[in-house]
Structures are given as C-alpha cells and as structure tokens.
Amino acid sequence: MAGPRLANYRRAAGLLECRIGVECMGWRPSPYDVGLMAATTAHRIAVIGGDGIGPEVTIQALKVVRAAGVNIDTTDFDLGGARFLRDGEILSDDVLNQLRAFDAILLGAVGTPDVPPGVIERGLLLKMRFELDLYINQRPFIGTAPGHTKPHDFICIRENTEGPYVGEGGVLRKGTPHEVATQGSVNTRMGVERCIRYAFELANKRERKHVTLVHKTNVLTFAGNLWERAFNEVAAEYPHIGTAYNHVDAACIYFVQDPHRYDVIVTDNLFGDILTDLGGAVSGGIGLASSANLNPARTGPSMFEPVHGSAPDIVGTGKANPTAAILSAALMLDFLGETQAADRIRAACADPVSGNTVEIADAIAARIKG
C-alpha cells in the first residue's frame, strides 16, 4: 500500500485516536474526515450462531451485510444448548465482559431438546438483556394479513427487562398435593417510562405518529395503573401524537382483523412476547420476523436476532429461510448508523425469494449489488 491510499489510512488512524481524546485540542473532524473514518473502520460484531439453524442463517445474514458494502469485523462466540451440554458453559461473567467490548451482537437461535426449558433462556438470553440493559425489544411488522389485500406496517415496542421475566417468585411444598407456586411481575416507574418514551420518540419519526398502549388494566390493576399513568403523562409531552389503549385480548383480535389500525404499539414484557409472535404470523410467517434488543443509552452493545427458534428438525437440510436473520442484521445496521445499507437490504427482501438457505441469501445479495 502506498501513496494517497496509505496517507488516507494513516489519517483515519489519527482521527480515531482523536476520538478517544476530548476534541483533540479544539480540532473537530470535517465531513470528509467523518466519511473517511466510516470507510476505513469496521463495526465490531459479536456473532452467536447458537443452536440448530442459528449458525446457518447468521452466516447468510453476514454475507448480505457485506454485500451491502458495510465494513464489519466479526468474532464468533460458541454459546447455546450444545455448548452447555459439552462443558456446562451458558454465559459466564468473563464471556459477558468480552461481549461488552463489541458494537453489536448478532444471534442466530438457541435451544436444543436435550436441555430443559428455561436453562438457556434464562442463563443466556435473559442474562444478556438484564446485564447489558437491553430494555427495548423492537419488532417491525410489514405484510398483508390473511384475508386482507392492503398491507400493514406497524412496530411493537416491548419492555425487555422487567415484568414476570425477572424471576420474582418461588415454590413451596413442590411435588406434593399442596404445592404453591408464585410468579410476580416487577414494574418500575423508570423502566416503564423509558420504554414508553422510546415508543413516542419512534412514533414521532413516523408518518402516522400514533402510539397504542396494550395492557390488561381492568384485571392487572397495580401494574396496569402504573403503565397507564406513565403513558398518559408522557403522551402529554407529545400533543401532536395520537394515542389509544387496547386490552391485550382485544389487541390479539385486532392483529388478525384490523392490523392497519396500528402504527407503534408499546406494551410490557409478557404481553409483548405473545403479541409479537402473533404479529409475525399475520405478516408472512414467523420465519420472516426480525427483532432488536436495544440499549438506547449505548452503555453496551445491542443484540439482534430473528424471532424464530433453532428448528433442530431441519438442520442441514437447506430448508431454513435466512430472511428473518437478514432483516435482523438490517436492524443492527440501522442502530450502527448504516441506514442506507439497511434500507437496501430491506428493499432486496421485499419480494419473496425461493430456494434453499444459501440460494435465498445469494439472491438477496445479488439484488443489493444490482
């Protein structure tokens, strides 16, 4: 490497050093310098392929990201059910600290039939959400629901670190006729409000500018009242944004009968988990559903994953559709500031592609390259 190209690389390296300091003695980078840094530095991505079809779809997603011209530097982490069965590792504090150093995490799928339910979910997925403060789960839904001719376009914002998932509860007299089990739902004002505020900020950037709160306030009167009061107080700060409230059971009906009523939905952890699976079902299938687990404060990396599971029954058959993983990678690029590349990926995924796992990704990559 010589001449202007070497000079550019050296200049970029110097600019990166300046970013570590404080304004580098009053000097600020020009737009050219900013572009140069973006062109010559790679986003550091931790890749957790996981179990089943997870590694198959993440490989294809990364191929499409690179086809979109984004410079990424990936590091693979062997985590999931298979790793747990091998040596007991789920997500140690040491590995968690390693993950903190990355710009983002791309996950395929985790879980294997040989591991009891809850072991990987709580030990890996929930631990990452709690420890990395991934308090927003964002899932977009674009498609045409069965029985409809008009496409819908809405986003579900799910609080991702509280509710019943924190594990508050316990068991007494287990295995006896008098067994007692409790499972609490933990909702804090801070956690609820920051999630609601994120939903309003998101709606403010969208054309329709509308937010719907989904809960069960008529039965869950304590948590529901907290959510309702926080929602109304935040809404007062955004008078130009329309609002609505649906009970969660009514929302399930509307997802099927009238999904077009929604723009941005905000809800708690459990209701969001259920609703977003239904959202995938009415938007082309769970195999197309993408998700982002976000730390909007950027105090650590955010994590991106397809909604589908590990599907161990089709591993190695080529039947796994990588589109959900590819769209999840597009959400990752949005968060990393690579919005143009993300838009190109979504446009390339808009029309259905047939073929096996590799052929689908190759066709999407070809569309991006033109």
Whether residue 113 is found in the same domain as residue 211? no
Q: Is 277 a catalytic residue?
A: yes
Residues 148 and 234 in one domain: yes
Are 353 and 311 in a shared domain?
A: yes
Positive or negative: CA dihedral 366, 368, 369, 370: positive
Q: Is the separation of the CB atoms in 268 and 184 below 8 Å?
A: no
Q: Quick: pLDDT tens for 83-136.
A: 999 999 999 999 999 999 999 999 999 999 999 988 999 999 999 999 999 999
For residue range 198-230, what is the model confidence (pLDDT) as tens digits? 999 999 999 999 999 999 999 999 999 999 999
Q: How many domains does the chain divide into? A: 2
Task: Say if residue 115 is in the same domain as residue 168.
Answer: no
CA distance 43 to 50: 21
| Residues shown for the chain | 370
| Boundary of a domain, candidates 288, 306, 339 | 288
The question of whether 165 is a catalytic residue gets the answer: yes
249 is catalytic: yes
- Is the residue at 33 inside a domain? no
User: 235 and 348: one domain?
Assistant: no
pLDDT in tens, 273-321: 999 999 999 999 988 999 999 999 999 999 999 999 999 999 999 999 9
Output the domain CATH number for residue 145: 3.40.718.10
Whether 33 is a known active-site residue: answer no
**Position 4 in a domain:** no
- Please indicate, yes or no, whether residues 129 and 143 belong to a single structural domain of this protein: no
Determine which one of 33, 78, 133, 273 is catalytic: 273
C-alpha distances out from residue 186 to 106, 125, 128, 160, Å:
28, 18, 18, 12
CB-based contacts of 366, cutoff 8 Å, min separation 6:
none
**Secondary structure of 157-171 as H, E, C letters:** EEECCCEHHHCCEEE
Q: Are residues 147 and 268 in the same domain?
A: yes
Domain shared by 274 and 156, yes or no? yes
Please give the C-alpha separations between residue 65 and each of 50, 192, 294, in angstroms, as whole numbers.
19, 34, 19
* From 51, 135, 165, 262, the catalytic residue: 165
Q: Which of 249, 258, 313, 369 is catalytic?
A: 249
Q: Same domain for 208 and 281?
A: yes
Q: Which domain holds residue 118?
A: 43-134+295-370
pTM higher than the cut 0.95 = no
**Catalytic residue chosen out of the listed positions 51, 135, 198, 216:** 216
Domain stop point among 241, 263, 288? 288
Does 25 fall in a domain? Answer: no
For residue 12, being part of any structural domain is answered with no
Same domain, yes or no: 284 and 342: no
* 249 and 163 housed in the same domain: yes
Does 279 share its domain with 146? yes
Phi, psi of 26 (to 5 degrees): 90, -10
CA atoms of 230 and 176, how far apart (whole Å): 42
